[in-house]
Amino acid sequence: MRHDPAVRSFASDNYAGVHPEVLGAIARANGGHQISYGDDVYTEALQEIFRGHFGEQADVWPVFNGTAANVVSLRSMCAPWEAVICADSAHIHTDEGGAPEVVAGIKLLTVPTPDGKLTPELIDRQAWGFGDVHRAQPRVVSISNATELGTVYTPDEIRAVCTHAHQLGLLVHLDGARLANAAVSLDVPLRALTTDAGVDVLSFGGTKIGLLYGEAVVVLNPDAAHGVPYIRKTVMQLASKMRFVSAQFEALLAGDLWQRGARRANGMAARLAAIVRDLPGVEITRAVEANAVFARLPQDVADRLRKRFRFYDWGPPTGDGRVEVRWMCAFDTTEHDVDAFANALDEELRA
């Protein structure tokens, strides 16, 4: 083995391994031959599993990764001259290497937000210029739940966004890389944050909640997206052995695995925040609503602590010798992991 499986980090929920139940599903799907490119029995069954969560109108299109899920979704919703309104902290703007612009040819119209969430009033800052040939035409509002800042939209907040967007003739896309964490945080079904609130197209995340690989484009409004299967192929996201992506999602969604994994991740984030909140020199900077903890602490402390546990800075130094950091918990984070990290932080603060 090339790594120590006892080593844990708080850098990203992508650092976690594959949930054993997901590995088991892959192994069970491995026998014999199945039709390739999504015509297998696992992908066929996946349609009904997703419809059980999102409604009978839902169509699911598995892809390899989250960037692809967002790019395929947005490209299917926009003509070349149209644009997407999003928060300036949105993953599609800050962490996808320009893929929506480069691959999909989509202009992003960003809006500053204090908590990563859009509101009808914030949407209006970019929802203008309709009919002006000199301006990229707003067509889609894209929100993330949970957001890049760890905050969670409630069903009412999403409904307000969707109602306003639809009144303006706009569509709504939801980046659900951590939708499971958001739903568990609020103790609501997945459709309460999507279908029932008016979302048109969803990018559903699997990797961060225990899959080996795989995300999904979920079309909730058939009139909102066009050419998804062709776009998926064009951008190199059509898996030949798709049964192994679909089998993972079946393991995740056919039962309560998605809830168990998200509940553990969220609970460990809450535990971490509660333990470190009162340590001298630590300031929790954002509401802990899902599986992320944001904190500000001295830069030298962060640098020393990072040698013991990996995590990321969030933005540049504040100018006062401190830096904001992000600590992420995963489906396999344990109380022991959290306590060991908090003890290490306390030691570095006292050094």
| pLDDT digits 0-9 by tens, 241-261 | 999 999 999 999 999 999 999
Tokens for 25? 């599903």
pLDDT band at 92 (very low <50, low <70, confident <90, very high): very high
What is the pLDDT, as a whole number, of residue 351?
Answer: 84
What is the pLDDT, as a whole number, of residue 24?
Answer: 98
What is the pLDDT, as a whole number, of residue 1?
Answer: 85
Contacts of 86 (CB under 8 A, 6+ apart): 92, 93, 108, 109, 110, 111, 118, 141, 142, 143
Mean pLDDT of 262-281: 97
Mean pLDDT of the chain: 97
Judge whether 285 and 295 are in contact, CB under 8 Å: yes
pTM of the entire structure?
0.96
Mean pLDDT of 116-123: 98
What is the pLDDT, as a whole number, of residue 7?
Answer: 87
| pLDDT digits 0-9 by tens, 55-70 | 999 999 999 999 999 9
Mean pLDDT of 173-184: 98
Domains of the chain as residue ranges with CATH: 18-253 (3.40.640.10), 257-350 (3.90.1150.10)
Whether residue 271 has pLDDT greater than 90: yes
| pLDDT digits 0-9 by tens, 73-91 | 999 999 999 999 999 999 9
pLDDT band at 319 (very low <50, low <70, confident <90, very high): confident
Whether residue 318 has pLDDT greater than 80: no
| pLDDT digits 0-9 by tens, 158-178 | 999 999 999 999 999 999 999
